[in-house]
Amino acid sequence: MDVFKNLIRWYHKNKRDLPWRRTSDPYKIWVSEIILQQTRVDQGMEYYIRIINRYPDVNALANAAEDEVLKTWQGLGYYSRARNMLLSAREIENKHSGHFPENYCDIRNLKGIGDYTAAAIASIAFNLPYPVVDGNVLRVISRLEGITDPIDSASTKKYILNLLEEKIDKKLPGDFNQALMELGALICTPSNPRCIICPLNVHCNAYHTGRIKQIPVKTKKQAKKIRYFEYFIILVREDNKWFTFLEKRSGEDIWKGLYQFPLIETKSLLQNPIEEFFSRNKGFIRPDDILEQYTSKMISHILTHRIIKARFQMLLLESADEEFYEGFKVDYKKLFSYPFPRLTDRYLKVFVEKFEKKFV
């Protein structure tokens, strides 16, 4: 009895018309899969179009500067995806003569590609029988099979992967994988799945045993850590131009490679951030030079494992001595050419509306 007999037929009839489904170009499929790793389809679509228009092939991407790629990616989050994509494009240029690798191992060896993405590209672009196991697939299969072990455990994932290796349609592996993911996105949704019209309902264990709400089982999540970010937008006027100060984030932390205003990070809320900034940046700016200051509201920015609580302190100053600052000075008018985290980018729009007339 083939449980998945109706699945591909259902997919062909009901799949969403998405731009990356209209191509067999592995480069474009790769770009879409990287975007969709941590982004919803509706949000990712705009970025897919933007990236493909700007970098229509591996060669165009490989020759781009990192800042430019990060700027194109700005707002999508998880910026390591963009950095890894650029490194992989350069590797494809150098190691594979510009041709996207056509076997699973070579695809899997590219930076930023894990088991899931390698299987997706191999099956969709090259028709190779590698099953994908993402959150949608885990939910569908755990309900279908009545699996009550946590789906986020390595052993359950392995069990489901082995099962799909056996069941995957060997003639249409790409469609089989996409059909399962699409079913999870459209029909077998986390709450209120539409079992009545599901092509798998005849065989579904959770449906027939009334356990749809109990399956899938997940291990309890740990509470998210809170990090407090105080940013300092320092503005000084020199030769009829306004300048501000930036630094590039480095180290193995969020937003690596993006730019930021001078920052103080703490584990709890600072009572007097401006005083703290002066004491940490002696020589750079002086309290006597403040012409105007403003503190933004606290902004909460939620990431997968942590919450960032951020404030922006705007300081309009008579002068600043950049020799005492580790970052660099930027012409205010060029500020928006730098890639920023979404949190900063959003605040800058408010900032421009509120203050720009005052000093530009």
Contact call for residue 160 and ligand SF4 (CB under 6 A): no
In the structure encoding, which two tokens stand for residue 28, read together?
């474009």
Q: Which is nearer to ligand SF4, 30 or 207 (CB)?
A: 207
The answer to whether residues 184 and 191 touch, using CB atoms and an 8 Å cutoff, is no
Number of residues near ligand SF4 (by CB under 6 A): 14
Q: Which is nearer to ligand SF4, 181 or 204 (CB)?
A: 204
CA distance 192 to 110: 38
Site residues for ligand SF4, 131-150, by CB under 6 A, read 140, 143-144
Smallest distance from ligand SF4 to CB 167, Å: 14
Q: Which is nearer to ligand SF4, 187 or 320 (CB)?
A: 187
Smallest distance from ligand SF4 to CB 226, Å: 36
Interface stretch with ligand SF4, choices 58-66, 81-89, 191-199, 218-226 (CB under 6 A): 191-199
- R_g (Cα) of the chain, nearest Å: 25
Contact call for residue 212 and ligand SF4 (CB under 6 A): yes
Sign for the CA dihedral angle at 122, 26, 45, 65 comes to positive
Q: Give CA 242 to chain center in angstroms.
A: 33
DSSP-based three-state secondary structure for 157: helix
DSSP-based three-state secondary structure for 194: coil
Sign for the CA dihedral angle at 45, 49, 50, 52 comes to positive
CA distance 45 to 322: 41
Q: Which is nearer to ligand SF4, 10 or 126 (CB)?
A: 10
Residue 322 bears catalytic tag: no
Give, rounded to a whole angstrom, the gap between the first and last alpha carbons of the chain. 72
Contact call for residue 101 and ligand SF4 (CB under 6 A): no
Contact call for residue 200 and ligand SF4 (CB under 6 A): yes
Residues found near ligand SF4 in the complex (CB under 6 A) = 140, 143-144, 187-188, 193, 195, 198, 200-201, 204, 206-207, 212
Catalytic residue set: 33
